[in-house]
Structure 1
């Protein structure tokens, strides 16, 4: 963006206003060659004066600090804030210069400027994901969705990325308040990205210690444990269930012990989780097969004597077979 003469005049006027508490001679001395300096600086660099030098009040505080000038009266709040900003900017510049060589550049900001196009694309993606969260009630994945529709979300993503690139290429020409709004919006998107990363990390950590259940009917949602019995009514320990594709079926929750098995893999944990809580226990040899409505006590063999017998009808006597006599 080209810096006009009016821009320079306005900047100098604001600097002089920030130094109004100084004696006029001292203020004139500090700002004597300021307009020429700003014109040379604008011709050598891109962007507005505010972008390159900061706010005029901050620049005035730097002049005041460099000259060791103090006003006749106490400084107002704006001047104290400007002085504090000068100190913060000085520390940031020192950090910027210190980190630059580690990145292969004179300053770290020079390296970061190369990443601005990537940030513009990422900013559009984050904006689309934020709209996804708001339109789906908190559901989020890797791709944006608008109202739960993936195709609409992809169109939204393309639009947001193009808008972000357009805005980034023209941010230098924005006025103060629009530029501040863009910066605040970018900060909101960065905060949203950090929260999303924390939530993703929590989900991954949960999967490390527990397991995702295979989709089953809702009638099994209250199952806490699974007990498998063979055809003879004997409890089968260390059993595992798989679907037709060989995927493990996980039901229940091992609340009687750790969900991690000896191998550290929760998907290989066998059933039942809590053997001592088996509803029918271990069947003794020769015991009747237990049924849900009538369960014999473990180790007790139920009587096989019928409670009622029916006498079969009498069979008519057969006449004796004659014995041949020779």
Structure 2
């Protein structure tokens, strides 16, 4: 067997606590055992992270320390992660390439679970401007003989947009996410839509966020409705409802009439009405905006329904901070 080591640069950094720096965890990628290695604290720079093992080259940063407590690192941002695995020695290059090609899909699933658990925005859903220090296009003065120059503006350095406070990824939810992905378990569609809505709202696209929240809520309501109909509604009525599915508002009303009393009291105004308003105004090419407060109400109600319909698996606990103005 040949041992392969490498590192993976994340599309979006995640925030975690310094206690899990240098942590190793096991997972499966396409059925192959892989050891994930988080970066360690740098021995030379208290604000930098370093690879867990020596590397022959590196094209990017491994991460940074974002806060200190008592002179020691408290929270960190991880930009790259290391990994190792073993392959048959007869053709290690080809087998290693097969595994490496699966890393993007593997991380997309893993980060989705982490987003749902922590509220961090790791998926690039919607456009948001990258924050930079300096100028994207640097310029400098040049002497007549072209042998000297004086910078007029400085090249840009991309910075990490921390946004509002977020829950740190910890060992438990990271291990849970890796375990779920190891058995090829992705988040349910309703939860993925909630994730997308939060990312869209973070990019300022509130109307699109409302549409996704409405879709997530509709999946949740229909899931609950089918379960409730199995318990309380005669087969003939259930078949008619299945052939001609009700709208979101109608489904919520039928669910309540069927004896399910756990929907949020403001579900209709928070989700149904604003979702219909956004969809109808979009069809009419209206530019009417959605307020952030309306989005927050829709998010709260939609998540309450999705949690009832699709409870999160063990180890994935949703913990989001409220928005800070």
TM-score between both structures, scaled by the size of structure 1: 0.25
Pick the structure with greater CA Rg.
1
Higher helix share: 1
Flag the structure with higher strand content: 2
Query: Which structure has more RCO (C-alpha within 8 Å, separation ≥ 6)?
Result: 2
